[in-house]
Amino acid sequence: MKAYLNALGVACSLGVGKDAVAEGLFQAAAHGLRPLDGWVPARTLPLGDVTAVLPAIPPGLEHRDTRNNRLLLLAAQEIESDLRAAIARFGAARIGVVIGTSTTGIEEATRNIAARGTTGTWPEDYRYADQELGAPAAFLAEWLDIAGPCYGISTACTSGARALLSARRLLRLGLCDAVICGGVDTLCRLATNGFHALEATASERCLPFSHARRGINIGEAAALFLMTRDDAPVALLGGGASSDAYHMSSPEPDGRGAAEAMRRALAAAGIDAESIDYVNLHGTATEHNDAMESRAVADTFARPVPCSSTKALTGHTLGAAGALEAAFCWLALMDPQRRLPPHAWDGAADPALPALAFTIVGDTLSQGRRHLMSNSFAFGGNNASLILEGGA
């Protein structure tokens, strides 16, 4: 079953809204990373933060006030008219919400825990529910006053991609007529210090697949789709997932789990690897991820397929990454010039890895219906791959 992505709202360090994000994405003249202090002790890190003023939480929902929810609201406001039209058409009980996240309100919780350690009492505004993984989905459902299935997904860096797969499943099972789905994550000290402790963060802009790669830059983003069965220019044609469970934080070195997710996505979409016109790589710029993914891509595709990692433009947005990078594929399919996201790096390929066909600024899709793949891989061997179809 095709599930159509009828509307997209997006905010990340490249900008707010589809037009601003597309301009930064396709030109790659500037990136959204900037050096910030205070996120890990005694170190400056390049981070992809959203600098726009975030909207206030609507009256009556003050109990949902977190940066995560404010960023999610910013993305939702871009497509609010589409969301409310769907509610009016299908009814509140037939609209679902599935949001992928990994940080929710944990930054606010961290501050409150620190305050309790100092004063011995919880601050009056502390709410444990803010850090629950379903909090962003519940916030959207309360704001829109809808009553369909509503839940969060947290599978680390595949969360946003898994949310889209779950939304498609709700439509296929007939449980919903429309699903609001995507991902959101905001910067938090728990995540930045965690990756720093794993020695996975780079002190400079990340270089996916480069011989000089040194680790990730962390970012924040929200990407939100309205998914229905109604015909639209872009469809989520299929998706696949796997779990290789090789290690808690390292991927299986030969990429078998990642390749399995891609093969399952192709099978679900009913196409073969030759039909894929572009792959948005997970491409974190860590030593092990890039090595594993390059092997998985080489194993899956018999020919060089245009591909790129966009994390050098936005940072790794963790639980939002799968939705954000699916949004980049959506933007490419909707772009009047049919531009592809370029691979931003130093051009120094790692000779130990299989060679990949990285895109450059100005690369475009040919005319006709096109198929784009978006990969997301996560801690614990959690793998997901999406295939979007669009174009005329």
Tens-digit pLDDT profile for residues 359-376:
999 999 999 999 999 999
Q: Which residues contact 111 (CB under 8 A, 6 or more apart)?
A: none
Q: And the tokens for 283?
A: 């491409």
Catalytic member of 12, 150, 157, 329: 157
Q: Say how far apart CA 343 and CA 20 lie, in whole Å.
A: 19
Task: Grade residue 257 by pLDDT with cuts at 50, 70 and 90.
Answer: very high
Tell me the pTM: 0.97
Q: And the tokens for 392?
A: 């005329």
Establish whether 343 is a catalytic residue. no
Task: Grade residue 248 by pLDDT with cuts at 50, 70 and 90.
Answer: low
What pairs with residue 98 in β-bridges? Answer: 151, 181
Task: Grade residue 245 by pLDDT with cuts at 50, 70 and 90.
Answer: confident
Please give the angle made by the CA atoms of 209, 214 and 218, to the nearest 5 degrees. Answer: 90
Q: What does the pLDDT average to over 317-343?
A: 97
Q: Quote the pLDDT of residue 329.
A: 98
Q: Between these two residues, 246 and 213, which has the higher pLDDT value?
A: 213
Q: Quote the pLDDT of residue 47.
A: 97
Establish whether 316 is a catalytic residue. yes
For the chain, give every domain's residue range.
3-390
Kindly tell me if the per-residue pLDDT of 286 is higher than 90: yes
Task: Grade residue 249 by pLDDT with cuts at 50, 70 and 90.
Answer: low
Per DSSP bridges, beta strands 234-243 and 357-358 are unpaired
Q: Quote the pLDDT of residue 198.
A: 86
For 48, 140, 224, 247, 331, the CA distances from 74, given in Å and listed in that order, are 17, 11, 10, 36, 18
Render the burial of 339-358: b for 16+ CB within 10 Å, e for the rest: bbbbbbbeeebbeebeebbb
Q: And the tokens for 84?
A: 């409310």
Kindly tell me if the per-residue pLDDT of 137 is higher than 90: yes
CATH code assigned to 3-390: 3.40.47.10
Mean pLDDT over each residue of the chain, to the nearest integer: 95
Render the burial of 321-330: b for 16+ CB within 10 Å, e for the rest: bbbbbbbbbb
Kindly tell me if the per-residue pLDDT of 228 is higher than 90: yes
Catalytic member of 31, 196, 316, 371: 316
Kindly tell me if the per-residue pLDDT of 75 is higher than 90: yes
Most confidently modeled of 21-25, 28-32, 114-118, 193-197?
21-25
Strands (E), the chain: 3-12, 15-16, 34-40, 43-47, 95-100, 150-153, 178-185, 221-228, 234-243, 278-280, 306-308, 357-358, 370-378, 382-390
Q: Quote the pLDDT of residue 30.
A: 81
- The closest alpha carbon to 100, from 55, 37, 175, 158, belongs to 158
Task: Grade residue 275 by pLDDT with cuts at 50, 70 and 90.
Answer: very high
Report the greatest alpha carbon distance in the chain: 64
Kindly tell me if the per-residue pLDDT of 223 is higher than 70: yes
